[in-house]
């Protein structure tokens, strides 16, 4: 199956703000995100699930799966921006008609719980999606981080080819690697472990998480690496932020242990994060990685 590239984002395009995971409390941040996107020269359509609640989710499983399908099949929508993460994506992955997504490829962006959809959409369709900013937590805030804004539009409008770590990044294990950019939120990836979700290609794995103590990060990494296919396919690792982990020294020890065990190059300190300053990365595209410089360079175009 060949990769599918969505079309570049252009001024005047319609961006759909989609709630497909956790419920949204109040509409202020969604409205602010809409105002921000309108000011950037885009039209905006908001899913009705931003106002729906089923327990802690943005509507029932069927409602959330259906609205995802509808946003892909709606040809008046050019790109889809998830409103937030939370929890709920895992409950709908067996209810989605992936043929609809494959027949109507378009930009799809999110992180955190949305990692589950990025991974499954790539596995089922080979559509290049994007791990990056979301409506509520990034573009719905009073102050919008300039780096996050620039990365979002540079990636989706201009097809940015090189991604660099923070100035204070650290090389964990020296070397170079090639593979598709793939990964995301560690806890979300682990939740897919019983399913067929691992790509068949070599992987440059990128990871991040929030509010997880070291022993849980250890447990989740161990669980992932107990999947033979994934362990075999990982050729390099980009460690993003593991915010509020409780022990930074032990985190770095764990990163080195994992990297040495896999014998792959790795670096720590990428803007792959729940924090304010984040990169928007193409998900599933082939790239090269140099852990000494920290540079990640995309080999081929990922947008039409």
pLDDT tens, position by position, 251-262: 999 999 999 999
Cβ atoms of 50 and 27 closer than 8 Å: yes
Q: How confident is the model at residue 53 (pLDDT cuts 50, 70, 90)?
A: very high
Find residue 288's DSSP bridge partners: 178, 297
Q: How far apart are CA 38 and CA 15, in angstroms?
A: 9
Domain boundary among 158, 193, 213: 158
- Find all residues with CB under 8 Å of 254, minimum gap 6, and list them: 214, 217, 218, 221
Same domain, 100 and 187: no
Same domain, 134 and 57: yes
Q: How many domains does the chain have?
A: 2
Interval 159-173: pLDDT, tens: 999 999 999 999 999
| Residue 68, helix vs strand vs coil | helix
Residues 85-114, mean pLDDT to the nearest whole number: 98
Q: Is residue 228 part of a domain?
A: yes
Domain boundary among 97, 128, 158: 158
Same domain, 114 and 184: no
Q: How far apart are CA 184 and CA 207, in angstroms?
A: 5
Same domain, 65 and 194: no
- What pLDDT does residue 1 have? 80
Catalytic residues: 112, 208, 274
Q: How confident is the model at residue 300 (pLDDT cuts 50, 70, 90)?
A: confident
Q: Is residue 304 part of a domain?
A: no
The b-or-e profile of 161-170 (16+ CB within 10 A means b, else e) is: bebebeeebb
Same domain, 171 and 270: yes
Same domain, 108 and 83: yes
- What pLDDT does residue 77 have? 98
Same domain, 23 and 150: yes
Same domain, 167 and 74: no
Q: Which domain holds residue 213?
A: 162-298
Interval 105-127: pLDDT, tens: 999 999 999 999 999 999 999 99
Q: How far apart are CA 247 and CA 259, in angstroms?
A: 19
Cβ atoms of 298 and 287 closer than 8 Å: yes
- What pLDDT does residue 292 have? 98
């Amino acid at each position: 199956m060949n990769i599918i590239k969505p079309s570049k984002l252009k001024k005047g395009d319609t961006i759909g703000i989609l709630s497909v995971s956790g419920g949204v409390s109040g509409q202020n941040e969604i409205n602010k995100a809409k105002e921000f996107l309108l000011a950037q020269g885009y039209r905006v359509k908001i899913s009705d699930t931003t106002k729906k609640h089923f327990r802690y989710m943005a509507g029932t499983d069927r409602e959330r799966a259906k609205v995802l399908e509808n946003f892909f099949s709606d040809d008046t929508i050019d790109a889809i921006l998830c409103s937030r993460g939370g929890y709920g994506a895992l409950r709908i992955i067996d209810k989605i008609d992936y043929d609809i997504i494959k027949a109507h490829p378009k930009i799809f962006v999110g992180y955190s719980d949305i990692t589950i959809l990025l991974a499954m959409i790539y596995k089922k369709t080979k559509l290049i999606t994007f791990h990056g900013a979301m409506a509520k937590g990034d573009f719905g805030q009073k102050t919008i981080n300039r780096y996050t804004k620039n990365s979002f539009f540079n990636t989706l409008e201009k097809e940015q080819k090189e991604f660099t770590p923070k100035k204070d990044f650290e090389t964990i294990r020296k070397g170079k690697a090639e593979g598709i950019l793939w990964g995301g939120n560690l806890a979300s990836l682990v939740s897919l472990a019983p399913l067929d979700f691992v790509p068949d290609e070599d992987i440059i794995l990128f990871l991040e998480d929030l509010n997880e103590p070291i022993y849980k990060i250890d447990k989740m990494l161990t669980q992932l690496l107990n999947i033979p296919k994934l362990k075999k396919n990982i050729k390099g690792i980009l460690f993003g932020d593991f915010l509020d982990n409780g022990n930074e020294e032990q985190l770095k020890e764990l990163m080195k242990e994992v990297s040495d065990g896999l014998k792959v190059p790795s670096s720590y300190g990428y803007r792959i994060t729940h924090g304010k300053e984040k990169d928007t990365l193409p998900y599933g595209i082939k790239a090269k990685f140099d852990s000494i410089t920290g540079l990640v360079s995309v080999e081929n175009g990922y947008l039409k």
